[in-house]
């Protein structure tokens, strides 16, 4: 089923669900956030399955076809099973992704800071780091 859904749509849906869950947590709606967790986990599984089905879809050529590159790519794509209580490193990564998504959706630094109980400077620091990372990749 996930083969017919573009990977980008699955990832975007996962990010929206994560954003909704994080918003519920930020507003102290723990019950709502807990109800959303199974949905987030199922969507994460669909995204992972999409990666796995795409990696077997067509043989890669050039650097992408080399076995050491494939092994590195597989490690990057697969995530170890996480306990229901998400560890702080992955939680920070998800928070930073959400901050970036909120900024790209034209949400102000101040509003983002309020959502995450952070200072505006912390939000700007995260966004600046993300921008530098994007510029290095180009």
pLDDT score of 1 more than 50: no
pLDDT score of 135 more than 90: no
Dist CA 82 CA 125 (whole Å) = 28
- What region does 27 belong to: left with phi over 0, alpha with psi -120 to 50, or beta? alpha
Dist CA 127 CA 120 (whole Å) = 11
pLDDT score of 103 more than 50: yes
* Paired tokens of 68: 């050491």
Confidence (pTM):
0.39
pLDDT score of 124 more than 90: yes
- What region does 81 belong to: left with phi over 0, alpha with psi -120 to 50, or beta? beta
Q: Which is more confident, 34 or 53? A: 34
The pLDDT value given to residue 42 = 85
Dist CA 100 CA 82 (whole Å) = 23
Q: Which of 17-31, 44-58, 86-100, 115-129 has the lowest mean pLDDT?
A: 44-58
Which range scores top for mean pLDDT: 42-56, 84-98, 109-123? 109-123
């Amino acid at each position: 089923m996930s083969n017919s859904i573009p990977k980008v749509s699955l990832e975007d849906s996962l990010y929206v669900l994560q954003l909704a869950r994080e918003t519920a947590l930020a507003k102290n709606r723990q019950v709502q956030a807990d109800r959303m967790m199974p949905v987030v986990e199922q969507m994460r599984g669909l995204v992972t399955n999409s990666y796995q089905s795409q990696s077997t879809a067509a043989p890669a050529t050039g650097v992408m076809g080399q076995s050491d590159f494939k092994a590195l790519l597989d490690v990057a794509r697969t995530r170890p099973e996480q306990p229901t209580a998400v560890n702080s490193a992955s939680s920070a990564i998800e928070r930073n992704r959400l901050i970036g998504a909120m900024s790209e959706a034209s949400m102000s630094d101040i509003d983002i800071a309020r959502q995450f109980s952070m200072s505006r400077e912390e939000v700007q620091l995260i966004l600046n780091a993300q921008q530098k990372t994007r510029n290095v990749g180009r």
